[in-house]
Amino acid sequence: MSIAILTSGGDCAGMNPGIKHFVDHCFNHNIQPYIIFDGLEGLIDGDIKAATHNDVAGIMHEGGTMLRSSRSKRFFEYEYRKIAFENLQKHGVDKLVILGGDGSFRALNQFYKDFGVPFVGIPSTIDNDIFGTDYCLGVDTALNIIRGATDAIRDTSASFRRGCVIETMGRDCGYLALVSAITCGAEVCVIPELETDLDSLAKKLKNQITLGRKYIVTVVAEGTKKTQELVEWLEHEVGIETRATILGHIQRGGNPTVYDRLMAVEFVTYAVDKLINENSNEGLVIVYAEGKFEFVTIDYVNSNKYAIKQNLLDMAEDMTK
């Protein structure tokens, strides 16, 4: 038995700790680990290598993925998937671990249906938008980066009596913006999952400015596409000079937090053990839900849309109206 690991789609902090532990854990079970570079594209191009401890030494603290990543259009075509399968056969690799999002899992699920290569997917995306899991690798690091940036921007906003609009990533999911707004003490939170009453907020904020408020922190999810609208609203309706900051890809990089490192190790341990000990012959995703790890099918992950827990949404009530 030989197992290979690859990273696919958007990178995130925690991937490198996961890759390192994968190699170490395989060797501890006397199994030769393989690493695949450049994601699904590398699988097609045959960029596959038998891993050594030296390949992954010193990467625990590094953000991103040393294996690099890609978004592959070619993998959607059968002829290229066949080439990818033949490349695995050349190296004797018969099972896979993939760190990525639901799109990557769907791609490998089709690969499994075509050629019967079992795999375990590890949810790895700062968007935290995969159904069936409460947590995806990389989220804690992203939140800490947003927290640091928001705290710094608040400092300068207070110095100039300004408003600030901070745009977070997350695609159509407002999880990053919501949790950041709650934990950074924002005055306004705008996410796709909640209605925002700007008229009510404007009255409240104008009154607070009259009573001495020096700044206003607004956190907005990119999926709302309302960043510039909020800047204009703060300036014209609330009456405070405002600057916008789009955090962008800074949220995907950076030194992984202790929590993301620990979660990477736990995710990978369960994934490899599943492939080794239970002779798994299907495509599975390992999820973390209600405080425990479990395996679910790709069909289950695709059966519904991720929803932010109601108790978190309730905490944002004062920031939306």
236-246, pLDDT tens digit by residue?
A: 999 999 999 99
Q: Interior CA angle at 148 toward 188 and 174, to 5°? A: 45
* Rounded-to-integer distance, Cα 209 and Cα 214, Å: 7
Q: Which CATH number fits domain 3-138+256-301: 3.90.550.10, 3.40.50.450, 3.40.50.720, 3.40.190.10?
A: 3.40.50.450
Strand partners, 50: 34
Taking CA atoms, 245 is separated from 141, 149, 161, 250, in Å, by 19, 9, 16, 12
Asked if residue 6 has pLDDT above 80, the reply is yes
Could you tell me the pLDDT band of residue 202, with boundaries at 50, 70 and 90?
very high
Spatial CA neighbour of 22 closest among 88, 67, 79, 69: 67
Per CATH, the number for 141-251 is 3.40.50.460
Q: What is the pTM of this model?
A: 0.96
* Longest Cα separation, the chain: 72
Every domain of the chain and the residues it spans: 3-138+256-301, 141-251
127 catalytically annotated: yes
pLDDT of 282 reads: 81
Q: Which of 127, 129, 140, 260 is catalytic?
A: 127
Sheet holding 48-50, edge to edge: 48-50, 33-36, 3-7, 95-100, 119-123, 283-289, 292-297
